Amino acid sequence: MPEAIVAASASESTDGSAVQQVDVAVVGAGFAGLYILHRLRKAGFSAVGLDEANDVGGTWYWNRYPGARCDIQTVDYSYTFDPELENAWTWSEKYATQPEILRYLGFIADRYDLRRDIRFGTKVTSATWDEAAQRWLLTTSNGADISCRDYIMATGCLSAPKPPEIDGVKDFKGEVLFTGRWPHHDVDLKGKRVAVIGTGSSGIQAIPKIAEQAAHLTVFQRTPNFAMPAHNGPRATDRVAQFEADRAAFREQARWSLAGVPLTPTPAPSWALSDAERRERFQKAWDEGDLVFILSQLWADQGNDVGGNTLVADLLREKVREIVKNPETAAALSPFDHPFGAKRPCLETNYYTTFNRDNVTLVNLRDEPIKAITAGGITTDRRTFDLDVIVFATGFDAMTGAIRAVHPITGRDGRSLTDVWKNGPQTYLGLTVAGFPNLFLITGPGSPSVLSNMAVSIEQHADWVVDRLIDMRDKGLTTIEATEAAQEGWARHMADCSALTLHRLANTWYTGANVPGKVNALMPYTGGVGPYRSICNEVVGKGMLGFRLGGPDGAAQCNDGEIVRLQPDVRLVLNMLAEMNLPPIESMGAQGARDFITEFNKGRPPGRPVGEVLDGTIPGNERLRYRLYRPATPGPHPIVVYFHGGGWVLGDEQSDDPFCRDMCRRTGMIFVSVGYRHAPEHRFPTAAEDGFAATRWISEHASHLGGIPGPVLVAGWSAGGNIAAVTCQLARDRGGPQISGQLLICPVTDCSFDRPSYTENATGYFLTRALMYWFWDIYCSPDDRTDPRVAPLRGELRSLPPAFIATAEFDPLRDEGIAYAEGLAAAGVNVEQLKGSGHFHSSYVMVDVIVTGAACRAKMAEALRRFAGLPAAAGDERARFERKTPPTEINAAAG
């Protein structure tokens, strides 16, 4: 498009003062604001930028404390929109310093001539939506007010410093400095007694530099943070070579990655690696000096499983003990109150070695809290420190601070954003807020923002927003606003994504926990940059789903709805399957389908270790194979007889191996997976009769198998759920064996295909209606289909064992599972239901692939323990991170 600059015009407000009229106002002249201004201009919109600072740079304008650098490699932390620009600028270091980044942003402003549209030294003092004019009116601290159709907040996530919250700051007679508002003149700390309060990224970068100058440095630490060496220096040659080999592919990979950096997370779980292999991987990451690398390349479960995470955390703490000479100081510097990565980890240069210096003291505020700041220094409840300078590295009112607290924003019907967000920020896509038309947030709450390479997220957001403004202009539309339903859906999707992480176990600025009184809610989107990008594209592809668009003559369009209803990992798996474009399973023939499933299963993560796995056979007319999973705990254990899925046609006693292992570990029970016979070789009622016979044999041989004699439990998934349900009915009617509980997971319970779930989920969710028809045809003739041995819903439902029935929202079998639960309840059977929202038929058994299924399996395991009369399994994972002091082995080392 030709450069089409539309000059902003001026008009008068009702009180006669000048009002600047523009299409778009953009607050912030940092990474985001500059790029948006450039894009708006190229698209022919008139725009004004506003920034409180006196020059461009955003966060890099303010955060000029000693040691300030980026901690995403600069080859990644760059604009990518203009290949010419990438030729014109070369970073000097792996991690650029703040002055170099500021020079870069100045270079961008000059290259694209952006400064002429920015009003520096200007704060927005209020923003109000004018319903009649369908425009925003901004008042400012300096110069004319602004009338704009669209208002874009490119205010950054970490730009509102948090007050120090310590009594007496005003009484201090020495110098007070804030890392987030460092003076623009040289600060001379030579020969001075300096305190730094705060050991987040800013503190960790500043402390070694300050220690080099100060006569004495006292570091006041409330919470230690995980940190690893940056190994800064010239640009990393391997990374640069990768970039130079194919720049476009490098950038494209970053755009579709999880963190905005071209690295694909390792698929290997921790338990598939030996201790030596884990140490080797860890050491490589330590030497690499790259946060995204260590967060993605060690083992797959480090980010979502406390066990996998503890393995990394232990290795990091080991390093601290190796570097820091004083064991007590090393113990105090070792974090135990949060999982690695759940609080922003840091890159350090000489941080830990700084504590080996004679002029540095660490004060652990967990042991001796600050009582007050006085005229002469800081008093803890044990001692007094005389000081010349106090540096507050105490962080920010993150994500919402710069949007909500900086100026009142009043949307439709006079509603203030502060009120609307009083229970926590709500957005659609992190970009828009219902009730605030034509307001856009860049890297706002609900965007991947601070959990990603900001440069990549910013470009994506800016492109998406400006592209929408262009589309609307082309269609003669002038207003855009998220719907409430879309916004609520996004909140649900955010919560689903965060369940995949360990953020729930840490109090951090991500959740607002660092600001007293702030609502606790995880603010960034944890689903990853690539998935987020595809969702934003999907919104557009589905006719601006979740947006209400309006035009001048009452033109309106609204395609309301939620953009993501699936669990995030279910969505990824289904998208991946769709991309594979597989032939329908029912077109493969029985043996072809079996071969396909066997091959398919080879790609899944291996099951977790259990105490013992044994293969055996069950004697009878036809010997049935079984696989027994025994817990590592001393026996005897209750026994669960398990029936795999596969539509009575596919699978065997090993095909749900990861699931059986997982449930064996969770329940502390023996799982015996039965290899019942399949159709078409063995049609109805073979599978049902095999299931019953196997259960009876296992029950009779419980002691021999290491189980507790007496009642057994049964469980099964899909057709296996059908067999488990049928087995309970047969056991009741045939005088045993005794069954103390049944776990039915997405079971087949009826031969009727007219329930809504069969139509709603007929295609697209792996188990299709056509596949179910095929299974039924192979297993059972039409005349037999109402027999309770295949349609247990049609059987007698009284006096059956207590049941736990799990169904999945996007499963053709959903409604017959629910009908069975309701039928049992009506017949007086004790039933619990789990209706997995956003899940599909395979969610619960795809262990370590559908990680969101883990919480559901935890509930299933609790139910089985209850049925077996066992106490609930201990497991308050939160309590594990509430230790205020390091565990005893480290105290012992300190002694």
In the complex, the residues that contact ligand N01 under the rule CB under 6 A are 69-71, 158, 164-166, 179, 197-203, 205, 222-223, 344, 365, 393-396, 450, 509, 514
* Nearest residue (CB) to ligand N01, 524 versus 658: 524
Inter-residue contact 460 to 255 (CB < 8 Å): yes
| Strand duo 377-380 + 370-373: pairing | antiparallel
* Nearest residue (CB) to ligand N01, 200 versus 647: 200
* Nearest residue (CB) to ligand N01, 393 versus 469: 393
Which two structure tokens, joined as six digits, stand for 66?
């000693």
* Nearest residue (CB) to ligand N01, 304 versus 364: 364
Distance CA 275, CA 698 (A): 37
Inter-residue contact 569 to 850 (CB < 8 Å): yes
Which two structure tokens, joined as six digits, stand for 328?
């007590």
* Nearest residue (CB) to ligand N01, 351 versus 464: 351
Distance CA 108, CA 55 (A): 12
Tell me the backbone φ, ψ of residue 186, rounded to 5 degrees.
-65, 135
Closest distance of CB 68 from ligand N01, Å? 6
Q: In what order do the strands lie in the sheet with 479-482?
A: 479-482, 547-550, 556-559
* Nearest residue (CB) to ligand N01, 394 versus 843: 394
Closest distance of CB 383 from ligand N01, Å? 16
Burial (CB < 10 A; 0-12, 13-18, 19+), residue 212, is: middle
Inter-residue contact 338 to 224 (CB < 8 Å): no
Tell me the backbone φ, ψ of residue 645, rounded to 5 degrees.
-90, 180
* Nearest residue (CB) to ligand N01, 446 versus 668: 446
Distance CA 213, CA 603 (A): 56
* Nearest residue (CB) to ligand N01, 222 versus 231: 222
Give per-residue burial for 527-566: e unless 16+ CB within 10 Å, then b.
bbbbbbbbbbeebeeeebbbbbbbeeeeeeebeeebbbbb
Closest distance of CB 163 from ligand N01, Å? 9
Residue nearest to ligand N01 (CB): 200
Residue 331 DSSP code: H
Closest distance of CB 201 from ligand N01, Å? 3
Cis peptide before 737 (omega within 30 of 0): yes
Residue 403 DSSP code: I
* Nearest residue (CB) to ligand N01, 299 versus 525: 525
* Nearest residue (CB) to ligand N01, 263 versus 610: 263
Closest distance of CB 348 from ligand N01, Å? 10
* Residue 595 CA, distance from chain mean position: 35
Tell me the backbone φ, ψ of residue 429, rounded to 5 degrees.
65, 10
* Nearest residue (CB) to ligand N01, 161 versus 568: 161
Closest distance of CB 10 from ligand N01, Å? 39
Using DSSP's 3-state secondary structure scheme, residue 573 falls into: helix
Distance CA 63, CA 547 (A): 37
Cis peptide before 164 (omega within 30 of 0): no
Closest distance of CB 595 from ligand N01, Å? 49
Instruction: Return the CA Rg of the chain.
Output: 31
* Nearest residue (CB) to ligand N01, 95 versus 692: 95
Closest distance of CB 158 from ligand N01, Å? 5
Closest distance of CB 725 from ligand N01, Å? 51
Closest distance of CB 205 from ligand N01, Å? 6
Tell me the backbone φ, ψ of residue 309, rounded to 5 degrees.
-70, -40
Reference 870, options 741, 776, 691, 772; nearest CA is 741
* Nearest residue (CB) to ligand N01, 68 versus 715: 68
Written as one letter, the residue type at 895 is G
| Strand duo 439-441 + 556-559: pairing | unpaired
Tell me the backbone φ, ψ of residue 276, rounded to 5 degrees.
-65, -40
Closest distance of CB 366 from ligand N01, Å? 9
Closest distance of CB 381 from ligand N01, Å? 14
Closest distance of CB 331 from ligand N01, Å? 17
Using DSSP's 3-state secondary structure scheme, residue 702 falls into: coil
Distance CA 149, CA 473 (A): 12
Residue with tokens 């800013």: 202
* Nearest residue (CB) to ligand N01, 204 versus 486: 204
Distance CA 268, CA 297 (A): 9
Sequence-distant (≥ 6) Cβ neighbours of residue 832 within 8 angstroms: 803, 804, 805, 863
Alpha-carbon torsion (631, 636, 638, 641), positive or negative:
positive
Cis peptide before 636 (omega within 30 of 0): yes
Closest distance of CB 891 from ligand N01, Å? 21
* Nearest residue (CB) to ligand N01, 196 versus 805: 196
Q: Specify the length of the chain in residues.
A: 895
Residue 412 DSSP code: G
Closest distance of CB 310 from ligand N01, Å? 20
- Contacts by residues 785-788 (CB-CB < 8 Å, ≥ 24 positions apart): 785/751, 786/751, 787/684, 787/685, 788/726, 788/729
Q: In what order do the strands lie in the sheet with 712-717?
A: 612-618, 624-630, 670-675, 639-643, 712-717, 739-745, 803-810, 831-840
* Nearest residue (CB) to ligand N01, 179 versus 270: 179
* Nearest residue (CB) to ligand N01, 364 versus 843: 364
Distance CA 86, CA 535 (A): 28
Closest distance of CB 86 from ligand N01, Å? 21
Closest distance of CB 80 from ligand N01, Å? 18
Closest distance of CB 373 from ligand N01, Å? 11
* Nearest residue (CB) to ligand N01, 203 versus 645: 203
